[in-house]
Structure formats: structure tokens, C-alpha cells
Structure 1
Amino acid sequence: MSTSETLQSHLVVQLAQDKLTATLQFNVADEKFSCTQAQLEEFIKSHGIKTGIRQDVLRLIAMNPSAHFYSQNVIAQGEPPVSGQDGYIRYSYDMNEGEYRPVEIEGGKVDFKEVTQLKNVKRGQLLAEKVMATAGKDGVAVTGEPIACRNGKEAYFKVGKNVVLNPEQTALYATIDGLVSFTDKNKINVFPVFEVNGDVDYKVGNIDFVGTVVIRGNVLTGFKIKASGDIRIVGGVEGAILESDGSIEITGGILASNKGYIKALRNVKSTFIQDSNVTAGEDVIVSQSIMHSQVRAGRNVICSGTKGLIVGGLVQAGDRVVARTIGNTMSTATTLEVGVRPELRSELAELRAHNKLSAENLDKTEKALNLLDQLAAAGQLSQDKLALRVKLSSTKRATIEEIALAKQRVLEIEKSLEDTDRAKVDVVNVIYGGTKIVIGRYTRFVKDETSRVSFRYSEGDIIMAPYV
């Protein structure tokens, strides 16, 4: 038997699926087996291995074959592809809207008046720069073929109001003096600032401003603030109406006595929310407590400060609710809903109510048409009754079409209720009985006090797992 035939019968070369490694194994433990390093190299090359051959391993196998009878020996190593770095936008200001921290003064107290750090800029000032993506580097398989890499993705500016790009499209500048603000879909803007050094009361009146509003005082019951930028309030909010295309930040808390409402297309941040109606397109971030309120967030409701209490009312979030304490020892009814955007839940309830009303109207229309059909069959249909019959037939067709469309929309929303992978309720400390957890279309009532748990959906049920 020739050397090449001996190698063929004793050795097996295997190529990894990604073609980045090749291994050599003995399929016969023959103590008489011998070969040279050069013969081994020629053998593996005959199996298509061209690059990255590990001569050190081949030398060891040739010197002492029996030591390698029962192991997989990596005899070639390719070069993996290197992915390029994605580009990103580097901001000149910290645009993070994480939980605010009031300035601490002596004795452990905090000064809530010193919390609003405004991002003021001047005309022509640099706001953000584009960091370019980098190209990747192709890899090489042990067979000598190139392995394609992934190049980094370029980042793009989301240009808002009163900002301009340089000709190279690599930097963003302010075109006016004002306040840097993110709005819906992460557009970066510079808005002029309307500032009130005191309360919003009868001396100031309602505010409707194409920019950012800063109130260095309280907003009293019955007043309204509308802003295309952010609303910052260094004080408290009573039963007022606040509407922002950006974010709303309230350092003194919201105590609305179930009057007015607060709505932001991005985030709402407050010390506490009590007897209030609050809606945010993205997150609601509260440092102390949410009590007996209606709170809705497109993404998350986070109430995990030192107190971090949610009790009473209804809290809805598209993704997640997290709190230190939920409910109380008196089993106050508290409902938490996650797993679907709150506006979809509202739409679903409205559609069902509308469908019920439409079905009742359709029934009345059909009964009236039946009566008119009987009169027509008896030849007793007057001209005005004939016109009514045509009109009711048209109404019937329109109502049937309307009900069909509404039912289709109900099915779409119900399908989205099934998509509950990210949805969960996290309890950092304790949850009390009397709490109702809704995830998608599934409901669970908490009967007993439980500590440090996370509620999420799994296989047709809401399960309770340890909070990590």
C-alpha cells in the first residue's frame, strides 16, 4: 500500500461549516502508522485546504502519531471576517433624558428648584456631528476563498426645526438662539424659549407657543400650556392641561384632582403623579409614586426611585412597567397592563362599542326594509315610501361595509395583543393582593403579597419569575 493510500485509509479531514477551521482525525488506531510532515501537508492540500495550515500541528502528528489517535486536531485556521463599525451621531450635549436628580443640600434635603438644566445654544453653534461608518475586512477560508464581511451602516441626521446641515452633511448647527430639544421620531430641534418666572395663573393665562416653555413656578387648575418643543416646570402642576410635541418635565409633581390632562409625544418625567391623567408616546418616568391615576406610555412606565410606589388606578405600557412597590396592604384595586400600545387598547374598546351600536342600527334598518318590502309586494308603496326604501337599502350596504372594516381592525389589534415577547411587569420590592396584571389578552389577579418578582407571558399564561 502506497503512502498516499495509507494516509487515505487512516486519516479523515473535516471542514467546519463556516470554512474557518479544518480538523484531522484518525479513523484507525494503527501503531505501525508513520508519515512525514511534508506527506501530511500534501494529503490535506489534496482535500482542498490551501491557507492557514498549522505546520506546528502537522510536525507533532508526524513525530508521534499515536498521541493524536483519539483527538480532533485543528490543522488549518482561516481568518474570520471583521465587521465594520456602524456610524453614529455624536451630540455636543448630553441628550439623555434619564431620571433627573434634584440638587442635594445640607441635612439630606433636596432643592427641587435647582433641577432643570436647560441646554441653551447660540445661533451657529455646533449641535451634533456624524461619525462615519467604517468598512469591514473580508476573511479568508482555509480553502483560500474570501469570506465577505459586513460594512458598518451609516447614521443619518433627523433634522428638525431651526437647525441646518453643513454642505458635507456631516455636522448640524443651530440657526437661532434657543433650547436644544428632541421631538417625535428623535428629530433634533432648536426652539425659542418662552419663560415664565412664577406661576401660570390669571396674570399669565394660557400659553400656546411654537417652541419650548419653561415655567419657574406652578401651573394652576384650569390653565393650559401647549408647546411644539418641551415643557419644563420647576414647580408643581394642578388640574391643568399640558400638551407637548417633545417631553414634559415636572420637578414638583402632579396633583390634578382628576381634572385636566398631561400629554407628551416623547417622555413625561415627574416626582409624583396623583389623581391625574398622563400620556406619553415613549416613557413615563416617576421618582416617587403614581397614585390613583390613569397613566399610559407607548414604551415603559418606570417608578423605581427610593419610594417607587404604584397604587390604585390604571397604568398601561407598550413594553414594561417597573416599580419598587405595587398596591398596598389594604388591597386597593390597582391595574397594570403591558404588551400593547395603550392607544390600541382604547381603540379596541371603542371599536367593540361602535360595532355593537352598528349591529343594533343594522337590525332596525333590516326590520324597516322588511316592512317596506311587504308593502311593495302588496302594491301599497307610495312615492315617499319608495324613496325611503332606496335610502334604507343604501344605509344597510354602508353599515355592513363599516362593520366588516371594523371587525378586520379588531382582528388586527387582537393579533398584536398576542405579540407579548418584551412585555413584563417588574416588582423590585413587593406586590400586594388586589393587583390585576394584564399582558396582551391575558389576565392574572395577584391574591397574595409577593416579593421581587417579574410577571411575563409564556405559553398561554402569565407566569411569575424571580426579579433579577
Structure 2
Amino acid sequence: MSNQTMPLSYYVEIVLSDDKLSAFLQFKNSEDGLTFTLSQLEEVLASYQIVHGVDRSKLEDIIKTPHAYFFGQTLIALGTPPVPGQDGQIKLMHDLNTDTKKPSELEDGTVDFRQVTSINNVRKGQIIARRLPPTPGIPGRAVTGEALAAKDGKEVRLKIGKNVVADPEQTGLYAAIDGMVTKTERDKLNVFPVFEVNGDVDYSVGNIDFVGTVVIRGNVLTGFKIKCSGDIRVTGSVEGADLDAEGSIEISAGVLGHNKGVIKAGKRVKSSFIQDATVIAEEVLVSQSIMHSNVRAVKSITCKGTKGLIVGGIIQAGDTVTARTVGNSMSTATVIEVGVVPELRNELNQLRLQLRAMREGMDKTEKALAILDQLAAAGSLTPDKMEMRVKLNRTKKQSIEEQSAMRERVLEIEKSLEDSEKAKVEVVSTIYSGVKIVIGRYTKFIKDPISHVRFQLADGDVAMFPLQ
């Protein structure tokens, strides 16, 4: 220090910030030639209890050139601020942001613009959200050394909506039913069993794959697909689209298939009309007409509304086909088959085609083997011909085994065709020429119009009975 007789505290004071996280040195008095040592300056700091976060290099600068710091405040110490804890959070297992719909990219790099609807499907018992606990705050430290309290994170409550349950510990939310996860007012999480589209299924909606029931308040356009574990209800029409429901399908305005897409239900298909379409179900109910379509039902097909017309195509049912009118005056080819589950009849036809092809292949194999056998008998069988002979014998053996299995399956299906006594075709009004009636393994061609008739097996043939 210079010749001044006053203590350093006469010249220097320490100012603390309100939060005690900052300490500033300022000169309250000054004089030329003022000098002091680091220990003297540390004594001043100690008198103010400044013990944490001291900037030693800044103190040394002040000692070297005090006059440079005569005016203004100089930061000489910084405390450690407290870190507040993070609030608890609800972690969703699904992305519920509906603004991120994007078309899906296919393996070849092209984009399928029909794949834009993303439904957050969940099954009963599946977790849909977890509650993450809050974290404690980390205390800070003032420049005076005292601890500064930190706020702990706040707890978050589970917001339970419809068809959602929480575990006893309130740490997770689970689906109480099959359905889709949605967020409603006040961020409540719900699981709804029905997915609704208030309009057409088009490029703005895309294909739908849902674990519950789907309701379309519009039309389903060509090329789109709806698949669900429940029912499908369409208030408009269905064009050349694929509909696949484990439950039933109801189409208010009818099906105009353009020979594209398949409508398949695990239970019932109900529609006002079906035209140029393929329909597969346990039961089919049509109020107006079935035209030029392939309709297959495990049990029955009924078309006897005001019009009640079946014309063109192939109609197959395990038990009964009932219609008001079958065929037309122009003798349009129409096939009605009953008495066996359609899949079995189609399997039988496929097996017969495969057996025919295998027999033709067997004939070629046997002719080639006959030639090779002759060469072997003459002792002129080359090594490559010998290898060919071994391969052909192996192929022949495998073909015989496969044909044997196919013939057994054919006999099994044909036996089920025999049990068709209860199967019937009922025509409330008129059946026209050009119609083929198949019951079990028996066939009848209609040559002249007939009214009010029931077709059923009797004495090993398709017989006609007046419809009561």
C-alpha cells in the first residue's frame, strides 16, 4: 500500500446482487498511488463472507492497476445458481400429432399417396401412456457460501378418458378395449372403438387399417383399401375398392366394382346392389340387384327386394340362394351354385386343373424315361444321360405322391358335395333361359322361363318344386 494510513476497507466495498449469485467490487474512495496486496484484498472479501466462485485472475488485475477500476462496479465472484427439477411428464406410446400425415414410400422408391391415414390402433390391455416422475432440483451456492434452495419438479396427473384404465400405482394407462387412441379436451386420453370418416375415402384420407369398426359417411373410391377387426358401414357407395372386415359390411348406396377390388366380410355383407364386383361373406343380403358379379357366401345369398334381380356372373352359397328374378330375357349366362362351401368348390376346380397338368407332365416324363431305358439297355447311356435318368425318376416318384394326395382331397370334397339335400335355389318370380343351376355335383340348365320355383336335389338329380 502507499503512504495512506486508512485501511483498504476505506477505499473498497463489496456489493452483492439480490440473489447473492454475484459479487461486485467498487471503489468508494480513491487517491493517486493507491496500492494494496492480494492478502489485503482477500481480507476485505472475507469481511463480506465472499468465499465461493471468486475470480482470482480479476483480483490480480485489480491489484496491478487499481486506478483502472476506480469508476464502476467490477464482477469478482459468481455463485452457482440452483437448477430446478423437471416436471413430471406423460410419455405417449403413439404419436397423436394429426398434422404429420405423409404418404408412405415403397421399396422401389415410389410413393403411395393412398397410405396417408395413420390410425393409432391398440388392443385391449395394451399400454398407451406412461407417467414419468418429476426430478428433484439441484441446490445452488451463493458467493457467500450458503446453499440456495432449488424447486423440485411438479407431479403430473394421468388424464383418463373413455375406455382407458390406470394401474394401481398410477404409473401407466392401458386400453380397456380394442380401438384407436385419441386425445380430447384437456388432453384426456381415450380409446374409441369406432373410426369415422366424415366424407369420402380418397387421397385426403388414404387407406384405413383399424382394430375396431369403421364408419364412412361418404363413398369409398376406386383403388383404396379398408381393413378392420370390427364392422364397416358406408353410407355412400363403394367403387373398385378393397373392403375387408372380420365382422359385417353394410353399404347403403351399393357397390359398383368395375371388376376391381374385393369386398370380404367374416359375417354379413348387406348392400342395395352389387355390380361388376367380387363379394365374399358368410351371408349376403341385397335389396335390389346382383349383376355380373362373383358373390360367394358360406351360408346364404338373398336378393328379393323390389327388383330382386340376379343376372350374369357366378353366385355361390353353401345353403341357399333366394332371388325374385334370375337371368333375363336375353339369356345372359348366369351360374347359381349351392350345396357346398364356395371355397371348397373352387378348391375342387383348382385341384382338377392341377391334376390334369400333372398328368400331362407325367406323360412327358414317362416318354423321356422310356427312351433313356432303351439307351441303357443298349449300353450307350452317357454320364449326363444317366444323371438325367436319375432326376426324371425322382420327379416321377414325387409327382405320383402329389397326385395321390390331390386325389384324396378331391374325393373328400366330392363326398361333401353328396351331402347337399337341404341346399336349394328359390325364385320368387321368374328364372330365364341361360341360367345354370348347380346343386352339389349335379347341374341343370334352364331352357325356358319358369316362375315361382324351388330347385332342390331329389332322386340324384336337380328337381323343380313349386314355390309355396
Q: Give the Cα–Cα distance (whole angstroms) in 2 for the partners of residues 274 and 347 of structure 1.
A: 25
Q: Give the Cα–Cα distance (whole angstroms) in 2 for the partners of residues 266 and 436 of structure 1.
A: 27
Bigger Cα displacement from structure 2, 205-214 vs 349-358:
205-214
Tell me the SS of whatever aligns to 1:298.
Answer: strand
CA drift of 1:212 comes to 2.0
Give the letter for the 1:328 counterpart: N
Q: Does the CA-based 8 Å contact 1:316-1:338 persist in structure 2?
A: yes
Matched, 1:208 2:213: no
CA drift of 1:178 comes to 5.7
Residue matched to 1:428:
428
Matched, 1:199 2:200: yes
CA drift of 1:176 comes to 2.4
Q: Give the Cα–Cα distance (whole angstroms) in 2 for the partners of residues 334 and 444 of structure 1.
A: 12
Query: Larger C-alpha radius of gyration, 1 or 2?
Result: 2
Q: Give the Cα–Cα distance (whole angstroms) in 1 for the partners of residues 315 and 446 of structure 2.
A: 16
Runs (4+) off by over 6 Å:
none
Matched, 1:358 2:346: no
Q: Give the Cα–Cα distance (whole angstroms) in 2 for the partners of residues 390 and 230 of structure 1.
A: 56
Pairwise mapping of residues 386-465 of structure 1 onto structure 2 (< 5 A)?
A: 386-465=386-465
Give CA-to-partner distance per residue, 1:213-248, whole Å, 9 cap, x none: 211111111111121222111110001111122211
Residue matched to 2:467:
467
Residue matched to 2:311:
311
Give the letter for the 1:358 counterpart: M
Cα gap change, 1:191/1:451 in structure 2, threshold over 3 Å: closer, same or farther? farther
Give CA-to-partner distance per residue, 1:271-307, whole Å, 9 cap, x none: 1001111111x10111111111111111100112222
Q: Give the Cα–Cα distance (whole angstroms) in 2 for the partners of residues 463 and 432 of structure 1.
A: 16
Q: Give the Cα–Cα distance (whole angstroms) in 2 for the partners of residues 329 and 270 of structure 1.
A: 25
Q: Does the CA-based 8 Å contact 2:265-2:280 persist in structure 1?
A: yes
Count the aligned residue pairs. Answer: 288
Tell me the SS of whatever aligns to 2:332.
Answer: coil
Q: Does the CA-based 8 Å contact 2:260-2:277 persist in structure 1?
A: yes
Matched, 1:274 2:243: no
Cα gap change, 1:225/1:177 in structure 2, threshold over 3 Å: closer, same or farther? closer
Residue matched to 2:261:
260
CA drift of 1:191 comes to 8.0
- Give the alignment's TM-score, normalised by structure 2: 0.58
Residue matched to 1:63:
none
Q: Does the CA-based 8 Å contact 2:236-2:253 persist in structure 1?
A: yes
Q: Give the Cα–Cα distance (whole angstroms) in 1 for the partners of residues 328 and 379 of structure 2.
A: 72
Cα gap change, 1:347/1:191 in structure 2, threshold over 3 Å: closer, same or farther? farther
Residue matched to 1:251:
252
Q: Does the CA-based 8 Å contact 2:222-2:241 persist in structure 1?
A: yes
The gaps in structure 2 that reach 5 residues or longer are 1-123, 126-162, 164-174, 181-190
Give CA-to-partner distance per residue, 1:59-112, whole Å, 9 cap, x none: xxxxxxxxxxxxxxxxxxxxxxxxxxxxxxxxxxxxxxxxxxxxxxxxxxxxxx
Q: Does the CA-based 8 Å contact 1:191-1:210 persist in structure 2?
A: no
CA drift of 1:340 comes to 1.0
Residue matched to 2:229:
228
Residue matched to 1:176:
177
Tell me the SS of whatever aligns to 2:404.
Answer: helix
Q: Give the Cα–Cα distance (whole angstroms) in 2 for the partners of residues 437 and 215 of structure 1.
A: 37
Cα gap change, 1:388/1:202 in structure 2, threshold over 3 Å: closer, same or farther? same
Provide the aligned C-alpha RMSD in A. Answer: 2.3
Counting aligned pairs with the same residue, the percent is 66
CA drift of 1:315 comes to 0.8
CA drift of 1:383 comes to 2.8
Q: Give the Cα–Cα distance (whole angstroms) in 1 for the partners of residues 362 and 350 of structure 2.
A: 18
Give the letter for the 2:267 counterpart: R
Q: Give the Cα–Cα distance (whole angstroms) in 2 for the partners of residues 445 and 269 of structure 1.
A: 29
Tell me the SS of whatever aligns to 2:204.
Answer: coil
Pairwise mapping of residues 24-173 of structure 1 onto structure 2 (< 5 A)?
A: none
The gaps in structure 1 that reach 5 residues or longer are 1-122, 125-161, 163-173, 180-189
Bigger Cα displacement from structure 2, 242-251 vs 377-386:
377-386
Give CA-to-partner distance per residue, 1:429-455, whole Å, 9 cap, x none: 222222221111111122222221111
Give the letter for the 2:213 counterpart: T
Pairwise mapping of residues 315-394 of structure 1 onto structure 2 (< 5 A)?
A: 315-394=315-394
Q: Give the Cα–Cα distance (whole angstroms) in 2 for the partners of residues 363 and 330 of structure 1.
A: 44
Q: Give the Cα–Cα distance (whole angstroms) in 2 for the partners of residues 358 and 191 of structure 1.
A: 53
Q: Does the CA-based 8 Å contact 1:192-1:211 persist in structure 2?
A: yes
Q: Does the CA-based 8 Å contact 1:191-1:212 persist in structure 2?
A: no
- Give the alignment's TM-score, normalised by structure 1: 0.58
